Amino acid sequence: MDSAYAVQQLNTTIGDFRSSIDTQMNQIDSTTQKIQATTDEIYKSVNEFKQNMVKSEEVQLAHENLIRIDQVIKEQFGDYDRIRRTIIGVVRDFDINLVRNKTIQELSEELWLTSSRYWLSYALIAVTAWVNDYPEVAANALSECSRRDRIKATLFFTLLNLRFGRNEVARRWFSEYLKTLDPKFMQNEAAVMLQAYISGTFGTDRGLEAQVNATIDEWIAIINEDAAIAEDLVKAYGNYINNLQPGSEFTYESIRRFCVNADQVEGVYRDVSKFSTIKAMVDALDVEEIEQRPDNYKARVDAVLTSLISNYDQEEDELKTQQQYFNLVIKNNGDVKDADAQYQEMLRLKGEGFNIGRQLIGWVLYDNDQNTDVHVRKFALSHTKSWLKTALDRFSDAIQERFPTGYRLRIDGWESVTNGDDQAAQEKDLREYFDTHKLTMVYLNMPNAVAAVGAVLCMGLSFVNLLFLIGAALGLGFLGLNVFRALKQFPVRVQAAVDGLGSTIAQIGMFRQFCDDAMTTKATVLEQLDYNF
């Protein structure tokens, strides 16, 4: 009889609280979402720390590999560098005759013995033999020099003869140089020829200058008249932009915390920040033209000769190409994925189907002033700017398609969509949400429900054992204390949500302003390309 009565009491109690428990299910979902959001935030922080540590190690490893490759280059090609310095010194000495011809001859023979595979060592022998009036030796050295690297040799002697006013001979050498060229498969030496053209080296011979002009016009015509090549080059610029590291880091933590579509916002931010990087590249190439005066003509030729002989041979170039990869790792702050994508695109530009257009873009994007003269890079940009502008417009259009039309907010169970300009209305709705759900948040939350059910159960069973009265008292005490705390903390909780809303909308405003500024930067770049290149 007592047991039946106890069961009846329990059923009654459970029925009374069933509706209250059902009410708490929404609160449980909200709590679960909060726990999941906190877990995700912790995971993201830990993952970012791990990625930063890995990137830091990659940067350190890249520095070590650069040093290692430098050591290999010095060990294997140290004599090449000595020959480069020597031949420029010999050429300049012809102007002042401080060193005896016999001394030059002995030095050139010594260097040839240590670097008999190198084309420039034969060029040094030829120059020395010519100065000492050994025509047969000079002819043999010239023949061997051309056999080992016909492109460099013909251009070298073109420039050398121009330097000493032997224009007729220079024209013959330049004609031989042109025979080595294929505008659909250009070599790096084309940069040196362009450098000579830009610096006015060919200007002392109007006939030769006209020939160079015709050659360059022919190159540009080839890429401008082929729609397939032009589209490929637009994509080359597009790939470069896509593979760029963001120009600045996304630091809007309130958006990350309270904006459901934060990933969309961050993705747009990362992309528009690339416009500052592109502007920095264009600014670096926006240099003054080379001053051309009669008294600095030889200095200008010497600068071009230095570029030519510093243009690494194939064996050295392979090592230098490896160094470019590690430099990209450093430039990308250890992000190996982005560095590899840029490196593969760089190799693609040098690969199958290589043409003058790809060479021009390669000079602009992947070379620096140490291996390609800055005026050549400016020339390259001026003749490919239409493709860069098209790529920038396409990139900008893609950003606009992904730009958030609304910002979905979720703060302490409240959800809404803002356009970033309605803070007052959003705050009013948020406060109304808390007013509407105050009963649930303060009184009918899960801890209170558990405490109340436990207290009632204990009271129902107190006739069985008086100890249940203690349990009932504890449950009621916990319930009262929890309600008191919730009431006291409720205004703080509301204010925290309001502050979170205010911070998020403020950061949305900052994000939108950042995007507007970035688009202004893009417009400035387009204007700069139109008027300065």
Q: 74-94 pLDDT, tens per residue?
A: 777 667 777 777 777 777 767
Q: What percent of the chain has pLDDT over 90?
A: 17
* 3-state SS, residue 408: strand
Side chain identity, residue 312: Y
Cβ-Cβ contacts under 8 Å for 457 (sequence gap 6 or more): 10, 13
The per-type count for the chain, helices as H runs and strands as E runs, is 22, 2
* 3-state SS, residue 407: strand
Structure confidence at residue 4 (pLDDT): 54
* 3-state SS, residue 339: helix
How would you class 20 by CB atoms within 10 Å of its CB: exposed for 0-12, middle for 13-18, buried for 19 or more?
middle
Both ends of the chain: CA-CA distance in Å?
101
Read out DSSP for 423-452?
A: HHHHHHHHHHHHHHTHIIIIISSHHHHHHH
- Tell me the mean pLDDT in the region 11-23: 50
- Tell me the mean pLDDT in the region 330-348: 77
> In this structure, what token pair is assigned to residue 9?
């009491």
Q: Which residues sit opposite 408 in a β-bridge?
A: 417
* 3-state SS, residue 418: strand
Reference 132, options 112, 165, 113, 107; nearest CA is 107
Q: What share of the chain is helix, strand, coil (3-state, %, to 5)?
A: 80, 0, 15
Read out DSSP for 249-263?
A: ----HHHHHHBTTHH
**Position 401 confidence tier, pLDDT thresholds 50, 70, 90:** very high
Read out DSSP for 269-320?
A: HHHHTHHHHHHHHHHHH--PPPP--GGGHHHHHHHHHHHHHTS--HHHHHHH
> In this structure, what token pair is assigned to residue 63?
């520095």
Question: Could you give phi then psi for residue 288, rounded to 5 degrees?
Answer: -70, 150
Residue 443 pLDDT > 60, yes or no?
no
Residue 470 pLDDT > 60, yes or no?
no
Identify the residue with better confidence: 518 or 348: 518
What is the model's pTM? 0.70
- Tell me the mean pLDDT in the region 263-283: 94
Q: 313-328 pLDDT, tens per residue?
A: 666 667 777 777 888 8
**Position 277 confidence tier, pLDDT thresholds 50, 70, 90:** very high
* 3-state SS, residue 150: helix
Long-range contacts of 9-12 (CB under 8 A, 24+ apart): 9/460, 10/457, 10/460
Q: In whole numbers, what is the pLDDT of the chain averaged over residues?
A: 76
- Tell me the mean pLDDT in the region 387-403: 94
CA distance 518 to 278: 11
Residue 266 pLDDT > 80, yes or no?
yes
- Tell me the mean pLDDT in the region 379-384: 88
> In this structure, what token pair is assigned to residue 74?
């010095």
Q: 300-315 pLDDT, tens per residue?
A: 888 888 888 876 666 6
Reference 91, options 113, 120, 71, 62; nearest CA is 120
Torsion angle defined by CA atoms of residues 516, 519, 525 and 529, in that order, rounded to the nearest 10 degrees: -140
Alpha helices, DSSP H, located in 97-134? 101-114, 119-131
Number of residues assigned to the chain: 533
Structure confidence at residue 314 (pLDDT): 61
Q: 224-262 pLDDT, tens per residue?
A: 777 777 788 888 899 899 988 888 889 999 999 999 999
Q: Are 418 and 395 in contact (CB under 8 A)?
A: no
CA distance 456 to 446: 15
Angle of CA points 499, 500, 505, to nearest 5°: 100
Structure confidence at residue 20 (pLDDT): 47
**Position 508 confidence tier, pLDDT thresholds 50, 70, 90:** very high
Structure confidence at residue 524 (pLDDT): 95
Structure confidence at residue 123 (pLDDT): 83
Reference 55, options 397, 455, 332; nearest CA is 332
Q: Are 377 and 285 in contact (CB under 8 A)?
A: yes
Q: Are 67 and 327 in contact (CB under 8 A)?
A: no
Residue 363: DSSP 8-state: H
State how far the alpha carbon of 156 is from the alpha carbons of 88, 302, 517, in Å.
Answer: 12, 11, 48
Question: Could you give phi then psi for residue 374, rounded to 5 degrees?
Answer: -60, -30
* 3-state DSSP of 217-249: HHHHHHHHCCHHHHHHHHHHHHHHHHHCCCCCC
Count of CB atoms situated within 10 Å of the CB of 399: 20
Side chain identity, residue 364: V
